[in-house]
DNA sequence: ACGATGCCGGAGCGAATCGCTCCGCAAGTG
DNA sequence: CACTTGCGGAGCGATTCGCTCCGGCATCGT
């Protein structure tokens, strides 16, 4: 019955999802017109909900940071240290954290984002420490390595390319193939391998996700 | 003494390298002005060498396909099957094959490209078969998996982001971190791991690199 | 030494696209 | 029925696009 507020909420969700997709395909040049069109709404509707393009992207960033932290906490709640870490990685990759990297260069990073980012770093470090303590994660990988892995695999040029070309039919296969890739990378994180090249001590990349400056 | 032709050749190299870099950062929206500026030459010089933007990108694509094939042949020449495959992967990733994915959606794909792409697929399959036959590569990974891995790791959002922000100082650390990631993924390709999720038989992605249609 | 030559960089072209505003229209309400 | 309300998209000025074309300067011939 309350069809009005109903569609409004659905539109909001559709907009955020569309923004993620377009950002994945077009990077920093993603246009509001493209986002609105993909969400199936008019440009006017987009601007009624978000005053500017930046506001939309800021909201999206906050959401992704929130997802990261929730996924990490969920991973820590898992009694199995390895399953917790692996689930976290899988969750973040499938969420598409990597696709949102370019927005950090467009929007103004608020203190709130930086705070959540710091909290996310802490949670990830705790996940890593716990897994290494249990002997289910090779000891020569760092939290930064994991963050970078998520960033790297969380963006899928092939899938994006296919979607842009409208080859929706090939999409499931590509997604499945990507999932296999994640499994391979996770296997590489298990103990028993030769040590990694120079761990670059001191030279922290501070995960670089939202640091900007 | 022949300073004229000398600078011409250097400019050509600089242009192709710059095109790769800008393409990595800006994706399909890479502009000729940005490419020329990064190469340190004027726009006029770019257009004297390449009639159109498409011609430049076509040349770049051919070059990257050529590099892929040469790296694969070099890998096959290595007597150690694993070292050959790993070296191929490392070479392709560092070359930045993944960054060139978006150009396939801009340029017109010539028959020559398709032919070289097919040859590249064959060479990679041979590399995979040989490594699996020698028992140094897990048997449940396919050539498509490797191609996807190169595509995925061959593009570095973090590094590109840093470069765009002018943080050249952090670049070496980021590059080193990426190399660690490659090592992790390669370790995941070694035998002795649990089987990968559904191998998606039949549903070939045909590596998707330059297929377009 | 000094004009002639030819390559170089970049100002500037029309076209396309950008973020954003504003208004006409259709659906919901009383 | 009049009235309200949220919708889509035409269109605004500004910006950026691919590309052309010309003035200036380093190089070369004599």
Could you give the CA distance from residue A100 to residue A27 in angstroms, rounded to a whole number? 8
Distance of A169 CA from C25 C1′ (whole Å) = 37
Of A68 and A7, more confident: A68
Phi and psi at residue B103, to the nearest 5°: -65, -30
Residues in chain A: 213
**Spatial CB neighbours of B168, under 8 Å, sequence gap ≥ 6:** none
pLDDT-wise least confident of A17-21, A48-52, B155-159, B177-181 = B155-159
Question: Which residue is associated with the tokens 């990679």?
Answer: B124
**In the CATH hierarchy, which fold is given to the domain comprising A60-213?**
Tetracycline Repressor; domain 2 (1.10.357)
Q: Would the CB atoms of A196 and B177 count as touching at under 8 Å?
A: no
Of B58 and B195, more confident: B58
* Interval A189-213 mean pLDDT: 65
Could you give the CA distance from residue A58 to residue A208 in angstroms, rounded to a whole number? 17
Would you say residue B190 has pLDDT above 70? yes
Contacts of B162 in chain A (CB under 8 A): 208
Contacts of A186 in chain B (CB under 8 A): 188
Q: What is the pLDDT, as a whole number, of residue A208?
A: 53
pLDDT digits (tens, 9 = 90+) for B3-19: 556 667 777 888 999 99
Q: Are B144 and B122 in contact (CB under 8 A)?
A: no
Q: What is the pLDDT, as a whole number, of residue A2?
A: 47
Of the pLDDT bands very low, low, confident and very high (cuts 50, 70, 90), residue A88 is very high
In which residue ranges of chain B is CATH 1.10.10 found? 1-50
Mean of per-residue pLDDT scores for chain B: 88
In which residue ranges of chain A is CATH 1.10.357 found? 60-213
In which residue ranges of chain B is CATH 1.10.357 found? 62-213
Distance of A8 CA from C28 C1′ (whole Å) = 14
* Interval A180-199 mean pLDDT: 88
Q: What is the pLDDT, as a whole number, of residue A59?
A: 95
Please report the residues numbered 8 through 67 in chain A whose beta carbons come closer than 8 angstroms to any beta carbon of chain B.
26-29
* Interval A38-52 mean pLDDT: 94
**In the CATH hierarchy, which fold is given to the domain comprising B1-50?**
Arc Repressor Mutant, subunit A (1.10.10)
Q: What is the pLDDT, as a whole number, of residue A37?
A: 95
Distance of A19 CA from C28 C1′ (whole Å) = 29
- In this complex, which protein residues place their C-beta within 7 A of any atom belonging to strand C? A 2-4, 29-34, 43-44, 47, 51-54; B 4, 7-8, 11, 40-45, 47-48
Specify the CATH architecture of the domain B62-213: Orthogonal Bundle (1.10)
- Cβ burial of A26 (10 Å; 0-12, 13-18, 19+) is buried
Asked if this assembly's ipTM is beyond 0.85, the reply is yes
**Would you state the structure tokens that stand for residue B155, as one six-digit string?**
């593009």
Of A74 and A96, more confident: A74
Q: Are A82 and A41 in contact (CB under 8 A)?
A: no
Whole-number percent of chain A with pLDDT over 90 = 62
Q: B127 — contact with chain A (CB < 8 Å)?
A: no
Q: Are B29 and B8 in contact (CB under 8 A)?
A: no
Q: Would the CB atoms of B148 and A158 count as touching at under 8 Å?
A: yes
- Identify each DSSP E strand in chain A by its residue range: none
Q: Which of A86, A71, A63 is nearest to A120 (CA)?
A: A71
pLDDT digits (tens, 9 = 90+) for A115-167: 999 999 999 999 999 999 999 999 999 999 999 999 999 888 778 888 877 77
* Interval A190-203 mean pLDDT: 73
Could you give the CA distance from residue A65 to residue A63 in angstroms, rounded to a whole number? 5
**Spatial CB neighbours of A70, under 8 Å, sequence gap ≥ 6:** none
């Amino acid at each position: 019955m309350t069809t009005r507020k109903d569609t409004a909420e659905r539109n909001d969700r559709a907009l955020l999802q569309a923004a993620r997709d377009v950002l994945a395909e077009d990077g920093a040049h993603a246009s509001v017109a493209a986002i609105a069109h993909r969400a199936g709404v008019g440009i006017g509707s987009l601007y009624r909900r978000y005053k500017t393009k930046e506001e939309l992207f800021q909201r999206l960033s906050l959401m992704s940071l929130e997802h990261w932290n929730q996924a990490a906490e969920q991973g820590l709640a898992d009694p199995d240290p390895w399953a917790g870490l692996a689930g976290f990685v899988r969750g973040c990759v499938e969420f598409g954290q990597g696709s949102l990297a370019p927005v950090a260069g467009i929007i103004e990073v608020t203190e709130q984002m930086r705070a959540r980012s710091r909290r996310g770093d802490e949670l990830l470090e705790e996940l890593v420490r716990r897994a290494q303590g249990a002997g289910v994660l090779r000891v020569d990988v760092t939290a930064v390595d994991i963050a970078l892995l998520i960033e790297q695999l969380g963006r899928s040029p092939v899938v994006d390319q296919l979607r842009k070309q409208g080859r929706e039919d090939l999409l499931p296969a590509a997604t499945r193939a990507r999932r296999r890739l994640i499994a391979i990378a996770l296997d590489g994180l298990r103990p028993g391998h030769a040590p990694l090249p120079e761990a670059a001590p001191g030279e922290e990349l501070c995960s670089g996700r939202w640091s900007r400056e």
